[in-house]
Each structure stands twice: as structure tokens, then as C-alpha cells.
Amino acid sequence: MLARQVSGCRSYVRKTASSMFAKRALSAKPLSVLPVYLNRKVSSTPAANGRVAGAQRSFATASSATPAKGTSFGKVSQVIGAVVDVQFDGELPAILNALEVEGHSVRLVLEVAQHLGENTVRTIAMDATEGLVRGQKVIDTGAPIMVPAGPELLGRIINVIGEPIDERGPITARMSKPIHADAPTFAEQSTEAEILVTGIKVVDLLAPYAKGGKIGLFGGAGVGKTVLIMELINNVAKAHGGYSVFAGVGERTREGNDLYHEMIESGV
């Protein structure tokens, strides 16, 4: 008899609790259910899921107080000649990003070449590293090395970080371009085979150059490779009205100086 009374009490309690829950659910405001329903309707397709997630990420980025890309800081951890290791506390800069050293005697730009792990990147210094010490502050610019571009650059000499070194004042260029760029696609290249007339008879007769191609001039020291290039620059400018870019990588300072003054004298 006692067991029947206990079971009856339990069923009565269950029924009472169920009815109370149903009354609360019916009397509850529909606003608490509406956002869930909307979320389910919006995210019913994968494309919509991506849009919602993108909107949520955008909102989180806009509302968070994290610093913008390009303002992360690091410190020098190791210096071996032109190779400098930099350690960051947060996100590592991308490969080929430009880093600038703070508190150095001259402007020193580092280019990221490798991710070593443990929040460390290996960089290549674009200038001498004398005086660089461990713990020195480094800033991630968030972009590759940029150099001035446009007609204002014609006739000027710049170094690898875009600073003028011809003692003719600053370059007031309206635009700047990164030193690293993707090659044009095959669809953007011409399929016609044309010969570039250089004006040098021995070249045009025996070893003609194809337009859009690459040519290697191999020879020992002092045989006239730079002189031949200077003649090509002169003829291309006068005969074709084109522009030439001379990059002196590993050139002697004296040869670069002589080339510069000879080009001025020739009026190219």
C-alpha cells in the first residue's frame, strides 16, 4: 500500500512539473526563440554558412582591440653577418615582408627569408649590421620592400630599399611598387616570335635576341660585358624609344660610377 502511494506521488510530481514547464514555455516571450530560428534559416546552406561566418569574423575583427597587421613588434635574437634572426611574441610576419630596426644609427631594413619556428624568423639585412645588438626592437611593416615607380624614376639611381644614391635629391614619385612581383601569365604574353634589332651588327647577325626572352652574357673580368649592355641600353632608347632598367648586382662601385657618367655624356 505504501509503495502504491509513493509511486502515485511520483507520477503526480512528474505531471505537475510537466504542466508547469509547458505553462512557462507557452507564457515565455517569443524573442528568446527568434534568434535561434533565424540562425537556423540563414545557415541552412554552405554558402550562407560562409557568409555568416565571414560576417562574424569581420565583426570580431572590427570590435577587437588587437593591433592591425603591420604593427607587430619583435626583437633581435641573433646576428651572423648579414643574417639576422628576429623573435616575435605574436604572429610571425609573412615571407618576404620588410622589417625595420628601431634605434639604429642608419635605416636598416630586414627581409624575412625563413620561418624557423619558436616564434623566430630568419631575415637578410639590406645593409651592414655593424652596431646591431641582441634585444633591439624590430617592427614588421606588413608589406614587402617598396621602391618608387613612375616617370620620376627615369635617370635616377636607387638602392635595393628605394633610397636615391645619386646625390640628386629625393625622388618625388607618385606611386611605389614592391620589389617582388609575379611573372606575367602565358595568356598575357605574346605568342609571336620577333627579333629585337639591337643595332650591334655582330649580335644581330650571329646571335640575334628574341623579344621577350632572356639572354645571358658570359665572360671573364674586363672583356666588355658592361660595355655591351651600355650599348644595348643606348640603342634601345634611341631606336625603339623603350626604357631600360640596369640592376648592378655584384658590380664594382667604380664600374657603376663609370657607367652612370658615360650614360649622362651619351644623353640617354
Catalytic residues: 225, 251-252
What nine digits make up the cell of 55? 560576417
Distance CA 96, CA 148 (A): 18
State the SS3 of the chain.
CHHHHHHHHHHHHHHHHHHHHHHHHHHCCHHHCHHHHHHHHHCCCHHHHHHHHHHHHHHHHHHCCCCCCCCCEEEEEEEECCEEEEEECCCCCCCCCEEEECCCCCCCEEEEEEEEECCEEEEEECCCCCCCCCCCEEEECCCCCEEEECHHHCCCCECCCCCECCCCCCCCCCEEEECCCCCCCHHHCCCCCCEECCCCHHHHHHCCEECCCCCCCCCCCCCCHHHHHHHHHHHHHHHHCCCCCCCCCCCCHHHHHHHHHHHHHHCC
Q: Which residues contact 73 (CB under 8 A, 6 or more apart)?
A: 88, 89, 137, 138, 139, 140
CA 160 to chain centre: 16
